[in-house]
């Protein structure tokens, strides 16, 4: 068994310091062998090891890849790193199955970024120790500063790195030295804090910024973001849609007064879309629909050729509202518009598949779930949802296999245990 030592200290390379070193050894081997594995896991490899991007071209691409960062309004959620970790684990498993077992000693594991800690846990859980043995080595942390690749952290959804490095940078920077840069970084850090369920700290940042910032756009963004904390807080008991309405109205008031029509169309449309969510939380779906319609009108009349992701998000949100208010065929049409605008983005296939499933159109739902499987790093929800289709069709073995795989990808996916128990009961396997 070959043995290597890898330093996982996040101060050396930020997120996926360990993963990048491991891939730096395995990916060139796989490319030389012609196995095709790197292409199969292009998203995962390119996210974890940017230095390998010249060797592993992007095969699965979404609209955001071709847009300037200012137009990439969709930031990956916190769960995306689990999908990346599962994809990387499958690449390592399949490569080592061809080349032979490997033992890895990981030093400074306690100093690793959460992305690497998660990956190590997935490797240990999913790979046979006879194929890959991962052991913890000694710890001698670096005294160097944290990397500050904030653009990468935002684009890839590396929220813990954004919070840690971003907070350190904000503490070390005076607002007066670079007002615009400070405002942008604060908004990115606060958004990352929200993603990792540290909403109180995010709110404190916005409150601090309100004492300093007078730029209308930034004040509107902070008002919008405060409203979103109040309606999306991870603890439902902490949500307050009425206070959120006051904050989002502040944002709408400001952005509706912006003098440039294109800038106004984008920012006001964004805020109207946020207000729609507030209205949904207040039980006013039709009012929410009207707000999304207004936002779409602004996008279609004043943003021609710009912000296509903003537009497709609005179509998808209108689809959700149409489905909620009993207009499923119109909802399907809007999901179709969103998917046609970005066929490489997987999430809306999942949403459309769920609607098709509810409408009793299993073949079309299956096609959407399997599109998610092709387009995305391993996505537990797609396998879970396919298991329901298979169960309904009488394919208990296939449904059980999909539930097993769902739990292999995410052992915390509680509904999969419930449904798997139902299959055990249906087949008389009461001891399992």
The predicted-structure confidence for 257-316, as pLDDT tens digits, reads as follows 999 999 999 999 999 999 999 999 999 999 999 999 999 999 999 998 899 999 999 999
**Among 342, 364, 344, which residue's Cα sits nearest to residue 354?**
364
Collapsed DSSP state (helix, strand, coil) of residue 135: strand
Which contiguous run of DSSP H or E holds residue 214?
none
pLDDT in tens, the chain (432 residues): 799 999 999 999 999 999 999 999 999 999 999 999 999 999 999 999 999 999 999 999 999 998 998 899 999 999 999 999 999 999 999 999 999 999 999 999 999 999 999 999 999 999 999 999 999 999 998 888 999 999 999 999 999 999 999 999 999 999 998 999 999 999 999 999 999 999 999 999 999 999 999 999 999 999 999 999 999 999 999 999 999 999 999 999 999 999 999 999 999 999 999 999 999 999 999 999 999 999 999 999 999 889 999 999 999 999 999 999 999 999 999 999 999 999 999 999 999 999 999 999 999 999 999 999 999 999 999 999 999 999 999 999 999 999 999 999 999 999 999 999 999 988 887 766
248 contacts 227 by C-beta, under 8 angstroms: yes
Q: In what order do the strands lie in the sheet with 102-107?
A: 2-7, 102-107, 132-136
382 contacts 372 by C-beta, under 8 angstroms: yes
291 contacts 275 by C-beta, under 8 angstroms: yes
Per-residue pLDDT at 432: 63
CA pair distance 418, 404, nearest whole angstrom: 12
Would you state the torsion angle of the CA atoms of residues 396, 402, 405, 410, taken in this order, to the nearest 10 degrees? -110
Which contiguous run of DSSP H or E holds residue 2?
strand 2-7
Look up residue 147 and give its DSSP letter. Answer: P
Extract the tokens encoding 292.
């999304």
Would you state the torsion angle of the CA atoms of residues 332, 337, 339, 340, taken in this order, to the nearest 10 degrees? 130
Residue 410: CB atoms within 10 Å: 21
pTM of the entire predicted model: 0.95
Residue 264: CB atoms within 10 Å: 16
> How do the domains of the chain map onto residue ranges?
2-136, 145-213
107 contacts 18 by C-beta, under 8 angstroms: no
Extract the tokens encoding 52.
């390998």
CB contact set of 146 (below 8 Å; sequence gap of 6+)? 10, 11, 14, 161, 164, 165, 168
CB contact set of 102 (below 8 Å; sequence gap of 6+)? 1, 2, 3, 4, 96, 131, 132, 133
Residue whose tokens read 């949802």: 385
């Amino acid at each position: 068994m070959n043995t290597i030592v890898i330093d996982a200290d996040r101060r050396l390379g930020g997120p996926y310091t360990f993963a990048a070193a491991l891939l730096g050894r395995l990916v060139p081997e796989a490319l030389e062998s012609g196995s095709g594995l790197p292409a199969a896991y292009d998203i995962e490899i390119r996210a974890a090891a940017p230095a390998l991007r010249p060797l592993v071209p992007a095969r699965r691409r979404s609209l955001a890849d071709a847009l300037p960062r200012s137009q990439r309004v969709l930031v990956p959620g916190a769960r995306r790193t689990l999908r990346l970790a599962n994809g990387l684990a499958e690449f390592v498993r399949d490569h080592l199955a061809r080349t032979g077992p490997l033992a890895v000693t990981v030093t400074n594991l306690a100093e690793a970024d959460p992305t690497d800690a998660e990956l190590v846990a997935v490797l240990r859980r999913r790979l046979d120790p006879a194929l890959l043995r991962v052991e913890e080595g000694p710890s001698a942390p670096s005294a160097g500063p944290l990397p500050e690749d904030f653009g990468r952290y935002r684009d890839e959804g590396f929220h813990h790195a954004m919070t840690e490095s971003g907070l350190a940078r904000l503490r070390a920077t005076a607002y007066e030295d670079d007002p615009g840069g400070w405002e942008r970084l604060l908004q990115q850090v606060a958004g990352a804090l929200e993603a990792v369920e540290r909403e109180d700290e995010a709110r404190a940042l916005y409150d601090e910024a309100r004492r300093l910032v007078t730029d209308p756009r930034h004040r509107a963004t902070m008002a919008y973001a405060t409203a979103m904390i109040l309606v999306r807080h991870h603890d439902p008991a902490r949500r307050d849609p009425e206070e959120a309405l006051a904050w989002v109205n502040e944002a709408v008031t400001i952005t509706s007064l912006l003098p440039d029509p294109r800038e106004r169309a984008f920012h006001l449309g964004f805020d109207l879309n946020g207000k729609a969510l507030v209205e949904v939380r207040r039980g006013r779906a039709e009012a929410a629909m009207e707000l999304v319609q207004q936002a779409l009108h602004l996008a279609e009349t004043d943003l021609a050729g710009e912000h296509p992701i903003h537009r497709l998000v609005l179509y998808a949100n209108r689809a959700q509202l149409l489905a909620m208010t009993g207009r499923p065929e119109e909802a399907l049409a809007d999901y179709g518009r969103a998917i046609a605008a970005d066929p490489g983005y997987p999430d809306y296939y999942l949403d459309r598949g769920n609607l098709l499933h509810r409408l009793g159109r299993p073949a079309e739902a299956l096609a959407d779930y399997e599109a998610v499987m092709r387009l995305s790093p391993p996505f537990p929800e797609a396998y879970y949802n396919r298991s329901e289709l298979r169960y309904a069709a009488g394919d208990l073995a296939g449904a059980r296999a999909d539930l097993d795989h769902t739990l292999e990808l995410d052992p915390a996916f509680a509904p999969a245990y419930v449904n798997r128990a139902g299959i055990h009961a249906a087949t008389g396997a009461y001891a399992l």
